[in-house]
Chain A
Amino acid sequence: MSNQSPKTLFDKIWSDHLVRQRDDGTSLLYIDRHFVHEVTSPQAFEGLKISNRSVHRPDATIAVADHNVPTINRQNIEDPQSKIQVETLAQNTKDHSIQYFDLMDQRQGIVHIIGPEQGITQPGMTIVCGDSHTSTHGAFGALAFGIGTSEVEHVLATQTIVQNPAKNMRISVNGDLPFGVHSKDLILYIIGKIGTAGGTGHVIEYAGSSVQSLSMEARMTICNMSIEAGARAGLISPDQTTFDYIKGRPYAPKDSHWDQAVEYWSSLPSDSDAHYDHEIVINSSEIDPMVTWGTSPEDVIAVNGTVPSPDSAKSENKKKSIERSLDYMGLKPGTKMTDIKLDKIFIGSCTNGRIEDLRKVASIVKDKKIASHVQAMIVPGSGLVKKQAEEEGLDTILKNAGFEWREAGCSMCLGMNPDQLKPGERCASTSNRNFEGRQGRGGRTHLMGPELAAASAIKGNIADIRDFS
């Protein structure tokens, strides 16, 4: 490809990070920022030690413990294995002079929340982390993707990763979002449309007026779940909204570097005649508030819909998969989604644990009480999100409504810490995965946005925010 040929945002970031092609034909891509957490890194550091290798750029690496940490009683991690993992990260970062936000640091939180919050995440960067939801950072126009532990070791040792170029897919959503429809609904709708393998081998660029009108928080929710559409990464063009969000944050470029950076960032949006391997155009008026009924994020339906029947499946495989999901979820075809009774509400995660999400929930539950049979929990995405929410008085509103107010972490999104569903318990969750056993063995997860989850907490059933007053 010559420098003159039109390029997508992905193509531009790719070519700007290509160190060279290796003799085996693969590309060596430079990595600008590497986020490290306690669960997927210990074996990588161990590998470095065994091979007597060092960390190539400790100054481009940042670490935090989030997956495994308790959201109450922070001083003492009761689970001995979790404790060892967190301590191992602390030791490894100390040994290699890597910046580490420890559990008592207010900046601690979910790795994909704190990167943007600290201004570490910036347009045009390549960012990796041993975590599939690294796609979140794509909201800034950064090429960000999840990697395995062996690749974590590779990046630690070389600051590069071995890749082949991805294909370009563009999903454009146009028009004003209808009443009650927000970014989580938009991405769930997209996943329902293209399926959990729909983006395999691709980087998805989200475009169109609906996407451009969104805040950074809302854009992050969309890019976060690109992995649930099977994509390697999600991207949104950086614009003034992006620059305004970054400016002044602790790790943002300063002074003359700021001007230089903005100039570079402004050159990143895809050229108007750039080629995409795959294009999808969606009119926002098609989209309703969405909720999942099954055990894959593609098992999604409008909240005013009904549980589908296996007979509606287009293939035998799909039919079997619906039957298995319905059996696991304890649901019958034809049941109205809004008739489904809930036991738990989880608000948080790297998908929806930011300040804007908490504000939305607070505005919906203000001066109301959650249904008497539900337990509702809010886990802010970071210590700073928690602090800000407390400064705005959101914690009081939420606690008065009956929510538990916790410390930051991944919590019940994956239930590595004590926050888990019990067998058969049904949860409205603002997280990203409704897999079998994801939130606890036998637990039943309905994914939705924070607005729906808040309304559902009050009703005690899955609720349509459009009928909620």
Chain B
Amino acid sequence: MDKFTTLQGIAAPLPIVNIDTDMIIPKQFLKTIKRTGLGVSLFYEMRYDTEGKLIEDFVLNTKPYDKSKILLAGDNFGCGSSREHAPWSLKDFGIRCVISTSFADIFYNNCFQNGILPIVVKAEELDRLMSAAGSQLEFNIDLPNQSIQVGNHSFNFEIEDHRKERLLQGLDDIGITLGYKEDIATYETDKKNQKPWLFGDL
């Protein structure tokens, strides 16, 4: 997995609440069997009209936001479907950090699987960041120090230690778990005795 340490760049403001994963990447793009190539379809219905032409005033279609690495959005970002195509499309577009007041659980998890940092901030901080983003100020995201710095304003954010470590080191979660293979085998032996009905062939 790609590592995440620090990130600099302008941020795209998208002040809408409850942005669901259908909005992030609509159904027709879920037919792929690959993880890549979805960036062009990110926010498809907000970015393109019914004839497939760019909607010029949508934030990610305007310069310099069309090169944003950071996205700011309203409450409950990523709700709805579990599709990992949502973080895949964000990443393929170039977005490595999403800032909101809250995230839906599955989307939040999926971000970490893909080297994307989701940051939770308070509502008043988000308002302040939205206006900084609107002024095209440069954001500095520093994961080791858990800080966001914009202009001369700087503040810290919370993140669970294990998630931070995984991003910093770009760790393969499956590899880590396979290190506990013997524990899993022991668990299975115990349960075969206690709950034998769970171990018949499906």
Residues of the A chain whose Cβ atoms lie less than 8 Å from the Cβ of B33: 42-43, 46, 84-85, 88
Inter-chain contact B45/A436, CB cutoff 8 Å: yes
Interface residue? A373 (CB, 8 A)? no
Inter-chain contact B202/A200, CB cutoff 8 Å: no
Interface residue? B142 (CB, 8 A)? no
Nearest-neighbour CB distance to chain B for A20, whole angstroms, equals 5
Q: Which chain A residue lies CB-closest to B162?
A: A24
Interface residue? B89 (CB, 8 A)? no
Chain B 33-73 interface mask (CB, 8 Å, partner A; 1/0): 11100000000010000100000000000000000000000
Residues of the A chain whose Cβ atoms lie less than 8 Å from the Cβ of B178: 53, 157-158
Q: Looking at the complex, which one of B16, B87, B202 makes contact with A120 (CB distance below 8 Å)?
A: B202
Inter-chain contact A148/B79, CB cutoff 8 Å: no
| Chain A 55-88 residues near chain B, CB threshold 8 A | 56, 59-62, 67-68, 79, 81-82, 84-85, 88
Residues of the A chain whose Cβ atoms lie less than 8 Å from the Cβ of B183: 19-20, 28
Inter-chain contact B196/A260, CB cutoff 8 Å: yes
Chain A, interface size: which category?
35 or more
Partner-binding segment picked from A124-132, A332-340, A384-392: A124-132
Interface residue? B135 (CB, 8 A)? no
Inter-chain contact B32/A81, CB cutoff 8 Å: yes
Inter-chain contact B82/A158, CB cutoff 8 Å: no
Contact A154:B16 (CB < 8 A) given known A85-B31, A200-B104, A201-B105: no
Inter-chain contact B162/A26, CB cutoff 8 Å: yes
Residues of the B chain whose Cβ atoms lie less than 8 Å from the Cβ of A227: 80
Q: Which chain B residue lies CB-closest to A416?
A: B27
Q: Which chain B residue lies CB-closest to A80?
A: B31
Nearest-neighbour CB distance to chain B for A410, whole angstroms, equals 10
Partner-binding segment picked from B4-12, B90-98, B109-117, B151-159: B109-117
Residues of the B chain whose Cβ atoms lie less than 8 Å from the Cβ of A320: 15-17
* Assembly CA distance A153 to B177 (angstroms): 12
Q: Looking at the complex, which one of A30, A148, A436 makes contact with B110 (CB distance below 8 Å)?
A: A148
Inter-chain contact B198/A321, CB cutoff 8 Å: no
Inter-chain contact B184/A160, CB cutoff 8 Å: yes
Inter-chain contact B177/A160, CB cutoff 8 Å: yes
Interface residue? A396 (CB, 8 A)? no
Inter-chain contact A197/B76, CB cutoff 8 Å: yes
Residues of the B chain whose Cβ atoms lie less than 8 Å from the Cβ of A159: 184, 188
Interface residue? A4 (CB, 8 A)? no
Chain A 265-281 interface mask (CB, 8 Å, partner B; 1/0): 00000000000000000
Residues of the A chain whose Cβ atoms lie less than 8 Å from the Cβ of B160: 164
Interface residue? A184 (CB, 8 A)? no
Residues of the B chain whose Cβ atoms lie less than 8 Å from the Cβ of A261: 195, 197
- Which of B's residues lie within 8 Å of A, judged by CB? 15-18, 20, 22-23, 26-28, 30-35, 45, 50, 74-76, 79-84, 87, 102, 104-106, 109-110, 113-114, 160-162, 165-166, 173-174, 176-178, 180, 183-184, 187-188, 191, 195-202
Q: Besides the contacts A40-B82, A67-B30, what 14 more A-B pairs have beta carbons closer than 8 Å?
A: A20-B183, A30-B184, A56-B184, A60-B202, A68-B31, A147-B106, A150-B110, A150-B173, A251-B202, A258-B197, A317-B74, A435-B20, A436-B45, A437-B22
A-B pairs with beta carbons under 8 Å apart, 26 shown: A19-B187, A22-B176, A28-B183, A32-B198, A43-B33, A59-B201, A81-B32, A82-B31, A85-B31, A120-B202, A130-B84, A146-B82, A147-B82, A148-B106, A150-B173, A157-B178, A158-B174, A164-B160, A227-B80, A257-B196, A261-B195, A261-B197, A318-B17, A414-B27, A437-B26, A441-B45
- Which of A's residues lie within 8 Å of B, judged by CB? 19-20, 22, 24-26, 28, 30, 32-33, 39-40, 42-43, 46, 51, 53, 56, 59-62, 67-68, 79, 81-82, 84-85, 88, 99, 120, 122, 125, 130-132, 146-151, 153-154, 157-160, 162, 164, 196-197, 200-201, 227, 230, 232, 251, 253, 257-258, 260-261, 264, 296, 317-318, 320-321, 324, 414-416, 423, 433, 435-438, 441-442
